[in-house]
Amino acid sequence: MEVKKLQGEYLDAQVYVLCKLGQALIIDCGAKLEDVKKAVGGHEVVGILLTHGHYDHSCFCLEYAKEFNCKIYANKNIETTLTDKIAIYSEDYSTINDFSKFEFIENDKQIKLGNFEINCYSCAGHSICSECYIIDNMMFAGDVLFENGIGRTDLKYSDKKQMFESLCKLENLKFDKVYSGHGNESNYDFQMKNIKVFKRFLSR
pLDDT per residue over 38-95, tens digit each?
Answer: 999 999 999 999 999 999 999 999 999 999 999 999 999 999 999 999 999 999 999 9
Whether the CB-CB separation of 65 and 71 falls below 8 Å is answered with: yes
- Amino acid occupying residue 29: C
Indicate the number of domains in the chain.
Answer: 1
Whether the CB-CB separation of 145 and 126 falls below 8 Å is answered with: no
The rounded mean pLDDT for the chain is 96
pLDDT in tens, the chain (204 residues): 999 999 998 989 999 999 999 999 999 999 999 999 999 999 999 999 999 999 999 999 999 999 999 999 999 999 999 999 999 999 999 999 999 999 999 999 999 999 999 999 999 999 999 999 999 999 999 999 999 899 999 999 999 999 999 999 999 999 999 999 999 999 999 999 999 999 998 887
The domain of 139 spans 2-202
Query: Which residues are registered as beta bridge partners of 117?
Result: 112
* CATH number for 118: 3.60.15.10
pTM for this entry: 0.96
